[in-house]
Chain A
Amino acid sequence: MAAILAVTEQRSNTLRKVSQEVVTAARSLADAMGATVDALVLGSGAVSGSGDLGGIGADRVLTGTHPEFNLYNPDGYASTIASMAGGYQAIIFAATATGRDLAPRVAARLGQGCATDVTAMSVEGGKIVVTRPIYAGKALQKLRLLGSPAILSIRPNTFAVKPSSKTGTAESISVPAFTARVTVKEIKAAAATTLDVAEASVVISGGRGLKEPANFKLLEDLAAAFGNAAVGASRAVVDAGWREHGAQVGQTGKTVSPGLYIAVGISGAIQHLAGMRTAKVIVAINKDKDAPIFKVADYGLVGDLFEILPRFTEEVKKLRSEH
């Protein structure tokens, strides 16, 4: 029977949320092709969360354990996946920092191309057809994947996790001997609570309208009121050194597809729009009613952000405490 391999991600032996999206995407493809789903978990010990993968569509959960897999190990991961690739119709990764590094390595080892950042998939005439944004989302490319296995990565926050009742049978696989040419020494974590803009379901971004770095506190307060929100930034403020590069949204920053995007004091330059136009709902707060950001905003609020934000935070808090 045809099978699809869903490559999950863990950090500190805890499965990352995006892994569930990968398994969900694999499940929908498998259902369309009459295939089974194997979820692959690589770690240095038991990985918490892997027991839940049956509930979102994994027929088997294959675990490969190696002492050097506590952190990402590019050569070890690539060797393991390449060694087990035979027999799979498709191998699906997440288009994350790890997945974007790993998928092309595996593809090259298997002599295949790799379709990255896929936002939709279907099966036509037995072949996988994917849609992926190009030109920073200004166009969509539709590709039929001819390779076997087809190798692709899905954009985070795009495939909503769906419950399913598969067995998720746990099996262990052997990790082949490999030479680690690259070593991940450590992860310097940002504050443990910091969500990444590419993965958060609510993103609140600030621009030059915030006037000075300390005022980002207003956005952090609003993010805290939402609970599951990350704070992003325009390039203007990143270049000014107010915020980290990792927070930049746009053509030369991150592409985000959250459920809710709130742009505060951001004019809406084309390069910024490129990074956030696929958000499900867009809110803009700007004192200039002609700012281009209002053209893409589902809900626009014209006014001074310094007055609006504290009230906004207060209202959200109020609502949250009621529900």
Chain B
Amino acid sequence: MKIAVCLKRVPDTTAKIVIAPDGKSIDESGIKFVPNPYDEFAIEEAIKLKETAGAGETVVIGLGSDATAETLRTALAMGIDRAILLQATGSPDGFEVAKALAAELKPGGYDLILFGKMAVDDYNHQVGPMVAELLDLPCITTVAHLTIANAGVHAEREIEGGIEIVTCALPAVLTCDKGLNNPRLPSLKGIMAAKKKPLETKPATLGGGSFELIGLSLPPERSAGKIVGEGVDAVATLVNLLRTEAKVL
């Protein structure tokens, strides 16, 4: 099995977001960047599938600034075989990223291409299925449980109030959700090995995109919290406020 994983470098989930003076980007100083949490499920699944098969190759592909190399090294330290960095600047929209990734993936002859269900920075939920369409491959999104047997994919995805059972044939594109597995931490040995693994760098070709970014803003602050009272005796006050003031009861 030849498996590709697409990996994005994103701000740590605890990062405080400050808007840069240009009003169109965030101030990156002091922000720690990490592999997109959902992409870690994809990395873990790729490594596990190769381990189970006992043969094959795993490749991680990241599109972004040169600093993305560090994020790709984390994937190599976890156990991915080699990495490709598609150099790009700015924040291209999802379809532009999908086109650049698809162009890289197309000649690769992959049996499986794995994505995260979404990037926690842009919240797009789209690059995986877009790449699948561009490559004319079947695609199952937000996979929380996966079985691969006889070149067939059997997946479970969470939908509102239930679980959808979905099947397709390989080669295929899947996007990974929480619950799929427990991503391993890179071992010390893995970190050392990653330094010697191949990391190929090439420029990405990106178009202008479908959107004009007008600007970023911070969400309105919630008005300061109010403590209604203490203990069980305050319940009546709370219920009364919910009915008369908040009008939600």
Contact = CB atoms under 8 A, between A and B. Distances in A.
Interface stretch (B65-73, B89-97, B105-113, B197-205): B89-97
B185 interface: no
Interface residues on B, range: 35 or more
Given A97-B159, A107-B126, A246-B158, A299 B228 contact: yes
B217 A139 contact: yes
A104 B126 contact: yes
Interface in B1-50: 11, 13-17, 19, 26, 37-38
A133 B235 contact: no
B238 interface: yes
A146 B162 contact: no
B36 to A, nearest CB: 10
Nearest to A104: B126
Contacts of B57: none
A253 B37 CA distance: 11
B129 A132 contact: no
B246 A260 contact: yes
B225 A294 contact: yes
A161 interface: no
A184 B158 contact: no
Contact of A296 (B166, B177, B222): B222
B181 interface: no
Contacts of A112: 95, 210
Interface string A178-196: 0001111111111000111
B123 to A, nearest CB: 6
Interface string B128-172: 111011100111111010000000000011111111111111000
A256 to B, nearest CB: 12
Interface stretch (A39-47, A58-66, A209-217, A310-318): A310-318
A162 interface: no
B239 A319 contact: yes
Interface residues of A, number: 96
A187 B166 CA distance: 9
A283 B121 contact: no
Given A138-B219, A189-B162, A295 B234 contact: no
- Residue of A104, A136, A246, A277 with most partner-chain B CB within 10 A: A104
B13 A312 contact: no
B209 A300 contact: no
A135 B157 contact: no
Contact of B123 (A113, A116, A312, A316): A116
Given A114-B126, A295-B224, 7 more contacts: A95-B125, A96-B160, A97-B159, A145-B210, A181-B168, A248-B178, A289-B227
